[in-house]
Amino acid sequence: MENALRACGAEILTGRPSVPYANLPFGDSSTEPSALATVLRNFVTAANRQLPGSHPILVLLKGFTKLSEPSLLGRRRAEAVEGVLKSANLKNPIIIVPEVGSGKCAVEVRIDREFEASFALGQREFEYNVAAHEFGHMIGLPDEYENPDTGPKLIVKKNYNKLVARARLIGPTFPWHTSSMMSDGMTTLNWHYVTAWEALGALTGEFLYLSEWAIHAPGV
Ligand SMILES: [Zn+2]
């Protein structure tokens, strides 16, 4: 989600490093300028690229007002941003937090980063199936939550990456903590089929090229 904010071109202010947020400039009226709407729609596109099965991260909107403006205007600004996010089909829940009279004309788009980080820290868990994960290893899939740089695991990772590239897929980024079946969750993704794809190719090599088998499964 934080990457999604960055990907949409929003400036991430790091004054409070524990809670990243994008502070979007906002006009004096409660209707959004089209440039801002484009930024927000790009944000939705990037945010919706998360893995299927991922927990929805809360998006918090805070509408600010100049000191001379009625405080209700802050909420209206936040609602205008919410309207654009919803019409662009943002899947994440949105919460408008009560505005504080800060004297600026802006809407703050914040993610609940503590919630998101709690998965990586193991404080919260994705739905998980050990048998499915271990079966993944049996068919040659590496753990995605680690990034080995030596030993047999490095060889497995390198060969796996080569196979994923051969299948013309974009594989996982090692290490990552996601809802992927080979990380912390139960989502199967297109690169989980590459070893079965290779085996099919070997079985049918007399009659077909490996490239004639295609993997149709959700990726990211
Ligand atoms: Zn494992």
Give the pLDDT band of residue 46 (cuts 50, 70, 90): confident
pLDDT tens-digit series, residues 6-22: 544 444 444 343 344 55
How far is ligand 1, taken at its centre, from the CA of residue 157, in Å? Answer: 13
Write the CA distances from 163 to 48, 65, 68, integer angstroms: 27, 54, 62
**Which two structure tokens, joined as six digits, stand for 4?**
């999604």
pTM: 0.55
Statement to judge: residues 166 and 82 lie in one domain:
no
Statement to judge: residues 144 and 110 lie in one domain:
no
Enumerate residues 6+ apart whose C-beta is below 8 A from 115: 55, 57, 58, 124
Cis, bond preceding 152 (omega within 30 deg of 0): no
Q: Is pLDDT larger for residue 169 or for residue 14? A: 169
**Which two structure tokens, joined as six digits, stand for 204?**
């049918």
Q: What is the largest CA-CA distance in the chain?
A: 78
Statement to judge: residues 12 and 107 lie in one domain:
yes
Q: Give the DSSP letter of residue 212.
A: G
Choose one of 98, 120, 142: the last residue of a domain: 120
How far is ligand 1, taken at its centre, from the CA of residue 145, in Å? Answer: 8
> Residues of the chain with pLDDT > 70: what percent?
71
Write the CA distances from 105 to 10, 25, 27, 102, 216, integer angstroms: 16, 7, 7, 9, 47
pLDDT greater than 60 at residue 187: yes
> Residues of the chain with pLDDT > 90: what percent?
29
User: Of 97-101, 148-152, 176-180, 183-187, where does the model show the most confidence?
Assistant: 148-152
Residue reference for tokens 């979007």: 24
Out of 161-170, 180-189, 201-210, least confident range: 180-189
User: Of 96-100, 143-147, 174-178, where does the model show the most confidence?
Assistant: 143-147
Give the pLDDT band of residue 40 (cuts 50, 70, 90): confident
Is residue 219 one of the residues assigned to a domain? Answer: no
Give the pLDDT band of residue 146 (cuts 50, 70, 90): very high
How far is ligand 1, taken at its centre, from the CA of residue 134, in Å? Answer: 6
Choose one of 96, 120, 144: the last residue of a domain: 120
pLDDT greater than 60 at residue 29: no
Contact call for residues 178 and 144 (beta carbons, < 8 A): yes
Residue reference for tokens 């049918």: 204
pLDDT greater than 50 at residue 215: yes
Q: Please, which residues bridge with residue 23 across strands?
A: 108
Question: What's the domain range around 7?
Answer: 2-120
Statement to judge: residues 137 and 207 lie in one domain:
yes
How far is ligand 1, taken at its centre, from the CA of residue 60, in Å? Answer: 34
CA atoms within 13 A on the CB side of 141: 26
Give the pLDDT band of residue 140 (cuts 50, 70, 90): very high
- Average pLDDT over all residues of the chain: 78
DSSP H or E stretch at residue 25? strand 21-25
Q: Rounded to whole angstroms, how far apart are CA atoms 197 and 10? A: 40
The environment of the single-atom ion ligand 1, i.e. residues with CB closer than 5 A, is: 143
Q: Number of structural domains, the chain?
A: 2
Q: Rounded to whole angstroms, how far apart are CA atoms 105 and 31? A: 13
How far is ligand 1, taken at its centre, from the CA of residue 164, in Å? Answer: 18
Statement to judge: residues 115 and 152 lie in one domain:
no
